[in-house]
Amino acid sequence: MPDKDAGTPQKGKYTGTTDIPLLEDGVKQVQASGRLLVGHGRLIDPAKLAHVFISPRQRAKQTFELAFSENDQKELQDAGKVTTTPKLGEWGYGLYEGMVTKEIRALRKEHGLDKESEWDIWRDGCEEGEMPDQVTERLDSLIEEIHGFQKDAMHGEKNADVLLVAHGHSLRAFVKRWLKYPMEFPLSMMLEPGGVGVLSYQHHNLDEPAVLVGIGFPTES
């Protein structure tokens, strides 16, 4: 579930380390998603969660608190199922923090970069910020943690859903690494504020990660 920085005061700007809250529109979108999708018997069922990983930015924490009831938050936290981790932090934009794409590309040209092609964060990274291999390393480490929760639950032996609450670039980067694609792989993705994406495995096999492009919602028993 992304907080998506479109819901922040820095709309259109690269805000990685800047610790800003959601705007009112972002709050409303997350609340709407929570009402529809989060709760017992719903797509994101707290009872089926093995763990929740949250980015350290306040807007990610705010997203979690808006989407879940206070009681569900307390139960998850009391069970030790909530972790705030820098592994899910937004891409470190370095010199580009607070800038828009057009400004970044102009700055890079001033610095003598991108003579053959325009800046692409997935390939080129950020000056004085994170490079693709650095983001890859931290997300791969998180994926290993997630596999630890799910490796013994491939056939429903136990509840093993894992929820990530983070940001636009970090979540899209996570999808690439989940599928074992390099960061520069041209996979076009879109995320809405408060949106929910689902990743899974084919054939109940940890070595066959997949995107669930069609979601079947829970049915009443």
Please report which confidence band the pLDDT of residue 220 belongs to, taking 50, 70 and 90 as the band edges.
Answer: low
Query: Mind listing the pLDDT tens digit for each residue in 45-86?
Result: 999 999 999 999 999 999 999 999 999 999 999 999 999 999
Which pLDDT band, with edges at 50, 70 and 90, does 2 fall under?
low
Q: How far is CA 47 from CA 28, 40, 162, in A?
A: 25, 7, 11
The verdict on residue 216 lying in a domain is no
Say if 192 falls within a structural domain. yes
* Residue 220 belongs to some domain of the structure: no
Tens of pLDDT along 107-162?
999 999 999 999 999 999 999 999 999 999 999 999 999 999 999 999 999 999 99
On the question of pLDDT at 28 being above 60, the answer is: yes
Domain-located, residue 217: no
Q: Name the domain count of the chain.
A: 1
218 within a domain of the structure (yes/no): no
Is 219 part of a structural domain of the chain?
no
Among residues 161, 187, 196, which one has the least CA distance to residue 4? 196
221 is a domain residue: no
CB atoms within 10 A of CB 11: 14
Q: Which domain holds residue 162?
A: 5-211
Most confidently modeled range among 13-17, 25-29, 87-91 = 87-91
CATH at 172: 3.40.50.1240
Is the residue at 98 inside a domain?
yes
In 12-95, where does DSSP find H-type helix? 24-37, 58-67, 70-78
